[in-house]
């Protein structure tokens, strides 16, 4: 059950508040927006003009205040219960801080970082995944439509994180018109983690869900691209997957399915770690 949602409010106009609010509306949940006031960044020690630092701090505070107002106004128009927090934070600590805050909510919603740019959203997504112990819905940078669950795609590899994601996503799956279980097989056509006779599709069908299964062998393209390509071909509205099955360091070195999805996602994705 989802009754309490937290959403990170980017300080620029282009945010995904409408999508986050549509989730809260669908579940009749309360939503809290968090707007972080970043401490003024001093590039080098030495002769520092205090007026410039103070002006930058005021600008950051004003941006957070405006983001919070846009959010609460949008929630009011949608008839959704909402509030907004503005919190002071050092830029490098924003991911951890958001992750700690999100522990007290049923679901965290964050926006995808703008492709090709290293922004606070990148840190916040990873902080949400690693620090919360809660599911995280990541909204693509290009997203415009509200929550839609006609066709939900579940990425299944039999791992612990995938199982956690399926369990965490049940409130969404129960509202889905169709749930497609997508597995990417290895060179032998099998999933290493699957035990014969144990079937996630059967489990979900016992919950009354309309489930189909699609097994995809992967040859030339990597798993992340295969999943994204299938999501586009099947007109998926929403994806569910485990996030960072390995350590962050190993995912960074190897690339990783999670990193691939986060960099090129075209539909909202619910991840759990």
Same domain assignment for residues 193 and 266: yes
Number of domains within the chain: 2
pLDDT, tens digit, 9 for 90 and up, residues 127-140: 888 888 899 999 99
Residue 146 lies in a domain: no
State which residues form the domain around 77. Answer: 4-139
Phi, psi torsion values for 162, nearest 5 degrees? -65, -40
SS3 state at 161 = helix
Task: Indicate whether 145 belongs to any domain.
Answer: no
List the beta bridge partners of residue 107: 5
94 and 135 housed in the same domain? yes
Cβ pair 252, 154 in contact under 8 A: no
Q: Coil, strand, or helix at residue 97? A: helix
Tokens of 47: 């002769």
pTM for the full predicted model: 0.87
Go through the chain and tell me how many residues it has: 273
In this structure, the answer to whether residues 252 and 134 fall within a common structural domain is no
Same-domain pairing of 131 and 157: no
Question: How far apart are the C-alpha atoms of 6 and 33, rounded to whole Å?
Answer: 6
The predicted-structure confidence for 105-156, as pLDDT tens digits, reads as follows: 999 999 987 766 666 777 888 888 888 889 999 999 889 999 999 999 999 9
Q: Are residues 135 and 164 in the same domain?
A: no
Angstrom distance (rounded) from CA 27 to CA 5 = 10
């Amino acid at each position: 059950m989802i009754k309490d949602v937290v959403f990170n409010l980017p300080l620029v106009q282009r945010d995904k508040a409408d999508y986050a609010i549509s989730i809260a509306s669908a579940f009749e949940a309360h939503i809290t927006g968090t707007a972080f006031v970043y401490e003024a960044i001093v590039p080098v020690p030495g002769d520092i003009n205090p007026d410039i630092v103070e002006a930058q701090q005021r600008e950051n505070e004003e941006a957070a205040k405006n983001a919070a107002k846009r959010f609460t106004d949008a929630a009011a128009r949608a008839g959704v219960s909402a509030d907004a927090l503005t919190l002071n934070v050092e830029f490098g600590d924003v991911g951890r801080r958001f992750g700690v805050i999100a522990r007290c909510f049923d679901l965290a919603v964050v926006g995808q970082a703008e492709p090709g740019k290293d922004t606070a959203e990148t840190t916040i997504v990873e902080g949400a995944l690693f620090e919360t112990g809660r599911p995280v819905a990541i909204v693509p940078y290009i997203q415009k439509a509200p929550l839609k669950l006609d066709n939900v795609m579940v990425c299944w590899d039999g791992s612990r994180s995938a199982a956690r994601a399926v369990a965490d996503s049940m409130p969404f799956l129960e509202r889905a018109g169709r749930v497609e279980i997508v597995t990417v097989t290895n060179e032998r056509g099998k999933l290493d983690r699957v035990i014969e006779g144990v079937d996630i599709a059967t489990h979900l069908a016992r919950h009354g869900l309309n489930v189909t299964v699609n097994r995809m062998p992967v040859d030339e393209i990597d798993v992340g691209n295969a999943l994204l390509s299938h999501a586009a071909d099947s007109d998926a509205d929403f994806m569910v997957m485990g996030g960072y099955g390995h350590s962050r360091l190993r995912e960074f070195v190897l690339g990783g399915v999670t990193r691939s999805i986060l960099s090129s996602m075209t539909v909202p994705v619910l991840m759990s770690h």
